[in-house]
Amino acid sequence: MITLLQLELRLLLRSPVWWTTAALAILLIGFALTHGHREHERRIDNRTTMFVEEQERLATMNRLAVDMRGMNPEAAGRRFGFRYAAKPELPLDFAVTGLSDLQSDILKVSTDPVEEWLQAHEWENPHRLFYGRFDLAFVLTFLLPLAVIALAAPVLSEERDRGILPMLRTQGFSLRRILVFKLAVRYSALTAVVLFALLAFASLPLATRPLPLGLIVTDMGMLALLSAAYLLAWFCIAGLVVSFTRGSAFAMGTLTGVWVALLVLLPASVNLVLDAADSGPGRFTYTDRIREVTLEAEQQAATEMGQFYHDHPELLGRVDEDSIINYSIGRTAIMLDVEHRVAEMAESFRESQLQRNAAYRRVAPVLFPLHFQSGLMSLAGTGMERHVHFLNEVSRYHRLYRTFFFERIVRGDRFVEFHRIPRFAYREEYLAVRWGRVVTSGLLMLTLPLAVLLLRLALWRHDSD
């Protein structure tokens, strides 16, 4: 074993491929993390500016309201008293863009229906969204497997070309053992380099984050484990391919084919099939139905209001305190009625989306890079699950905010309490839930490649060269 180790280390250290791969891995991880940190700082600056504006606006409105001896709470809740609800930071959100360039992590909450403010995304060039960002997730998911291919493809064929293989065989090493040993050494070397780069380049940005040290250390540990597991999965695939092929060029070609299939063609194809097979209502139908329902509710409200004024002609055309209160109550009631009717529709649309996601999960075990991506997003909090949690929290806050104003609208108060408008308080998911998702993704990612390689090794009878 010592002989094999010495031989492998000597081969690796003399290989220009190894040095190039290691240097590129460090460079790319460093660039991705530094770049991600800069983007993150810009986001935080924007967030700070928004909260300063909120403070100043509420203070100004409070003074104005006192001067005016109160204002209409309906207008205050809709136009002047809105507050921002921000998704709190997690240690690695700067490293993994995930879906954060598509989702708003800060929302403007008012008494208006959710749909009014949920669609307000940050400005972004659609071409940039199309190509994606150069972040750590991209480097780890797409580029690191290429390093694995470069390092693992020549395994065995290198020894064959140099004529060392028969010598090793005479010392009692089986091909299986040589393959596993060589891959293990290369895997350890590459993993060490990647972990070193992660630690070196993430330390500085993490040191500036106002987050508990324990959380940072644990999340970094999880990132290290997840990355190591992903590399292991790719080394398993590489081992499998190398065990079947005899030339390094062929192994490289096959592995590149696997890479293209797993990271480009299959996810895109599955997505295309799901899109084409999706029989649920699309956004156009959804919008059409929502509009129908909304107009029905408004029509009904208008008829009832007309009947009311028909019964009380003395109130028609009056612009006084009571009529404004009545108008505010009427408007709020219509809004709530519309929302109530729309909720059913929205639920059926969400149901159709869930079915799509379930279909995707059924095919996903084969596509293990997707699990890695999903694990990274869960860890960084930039995936779908944490965003859904954030939206639920915002919905909870939205109800609280509305209750605060609706009570005053119904009571007919003159509003002067801008300083008392409830603030958004985010209840973070339990750590175990987030980490559970990461661990599940890691296990799902590793199971299939590892099982396939082990099976191949167990059944490998062809032991001659």
When binding is defined by CB under 8 A, the residue of 4, 75, 143, 450 that contacts another protein is 143
When binding is defined by CB under 8 A, the residue of 131, 207, 347, 411 that contacts another protein is 131
For another protein, the binding residues in 376-405 under the rule CB under 8 A are 377, 383-384
* 59 is an interface residue for another protein by CB under 8 A: no
* 128 is an interface residue for another protein by CB under 8 A: yes
* 288 is an interface residue for another protein by CB under 8 A: yes
* 16 is an interface residue for another protein by CB under 8 A: no
* 138 is an interface residue for another protein by CB under 8 A: yes
* 430 is an interface residue for another protein by CB under 8 A: no
Contact partners, residue 109, CB within 8 Å, separation at least 6 = 82, 83, 84, 85, 117, 394, 397, 398, 401, 424
- Dihedrals phi, psi of 85, to nearest 5 degrees: -115, 115
End-to-end CA, the chain: 20
φ/ψ region of 156 (left if φ > 0, alpha if ψ in -120 to 50, else beta) reads: left
When binding is defined by CB under 8 A, the residue of 63, 121, 162, 340 that contacts another protein is 121
> How many residues in the shown chain lie near another protein by CB under 8 A?
70
**Taking a C-beta distance cutoff of 8 angstroms, is the pair 264, 170 a contact?**
no
Q: Least distance to another protein from the beta carbon of 193, Å?
A: 19
Residue 210 or 313 with smaller CB distance to another protein: 313
Q: At what angle do helices 431-459 and 368-380 cross, to 10 degrees?
A: 160
Q: Least distance to another protein from the beta carbon of 256, Å?
A: 6
When binding is defined by CB under 8 A, the residue of 166, 212, 282, 422 that contacts another protein is 282
Range in contact with another protein (rule: CB under 8 A) among 213-221, 230-238, 262-270, 326-334: 262-270
Q: x/- binding map, residues 351-380, to another protein, per CB under 8 A?
A: --x--xx--x---------x--xx--x---
Q: Least distance to another protein from the beta carbon of 326, Å?
A: 17
* 285 is an interface residue for another protein by CB under 8 A: yes
What is the CA 199 to chain-centroid distance, rounded? 22
When binding is defined by CB under 8 A, the residue of 102, 213, 217, 451 that contacts another protein is 102
Residue 37 or 408 with smaller CB distance to another protein: 37
For another protein, the binding residues in 192-211 under the rule CB under 8 A are none
When binding is defined by CB under 8 A, the residue of 110, 227, 248, 441 that contacts another protein is 248
Q: Least distance to another protein from the beta carbon of 78, Å?
A: 14
Distances (CA, A) of 411 to 180, 198, 250, 408, 461: 76, 58, 79, 5, 84
Range in contact with another protein (rule: CB under 8 A) among 172-180, 183-191, 232-240, 272-280: 272-280
Q: Least distance to another protein from the beta carbon of 222, Å?
A: 20
Residue 218 or 352 with smaller CB distance to another protein: 352
Residue 272 or 454 with smaller CB distance to another protein: 272
**Taking a C-beta distance cutoff of 8 angstroms, is the pair 84, 424 a contact?**
yes
For another protein, the binding residues in 30-49 under the rule CB under 8 A are 35, 38, 42, 46, 49
Based on its alpha-carbon atoms, the radius of gyration of the chain, rounded to whole angstroms, reads: 30
Q: Which of 50, 114, 54 is nearest to 390 (CA)?
A: 114
* 150 is an interface residue for another protein by CB under 8 A: yes
Dist. CA 456–CA 419, nearest whole Å:
68
Q: Which amino acid does the sequence have at 279? A: S
Q: Least distance to another protein from the beta carbon of 382, Å?
A: 11
What is the CA 295 to chain-centroid distance, rounded? 36
Supply 34's token pair: 């530094």
Supply 369's token pair: 């890079």
When binding is defined by CB under 8 A, the residue of 41, 122, 351, 463 that contacts another protein is 122
Q: x/- binding map, residues 310-329, to another protein, per CB under 8 A?
A: -------x------------
Q: Is 3 exposed, middle or buried (0-12, 13-18, 19+ CB in 10 A)?
A: exposed
Dist. CA 109–CA 85, nearest whole Å:
7
Residues near another protein (CB under 8 A) are 35, 38, 42, 46, 49-50, 53, 99, 102, 119-134, 138, 142-143, 146, 150, 248-249, 252-253, 256, 260, 263-265, 267-276, 281-285, 287-288, 291-292, 295, 317, 353, 356-357, 360, 370, 373-374, 377, 383-384
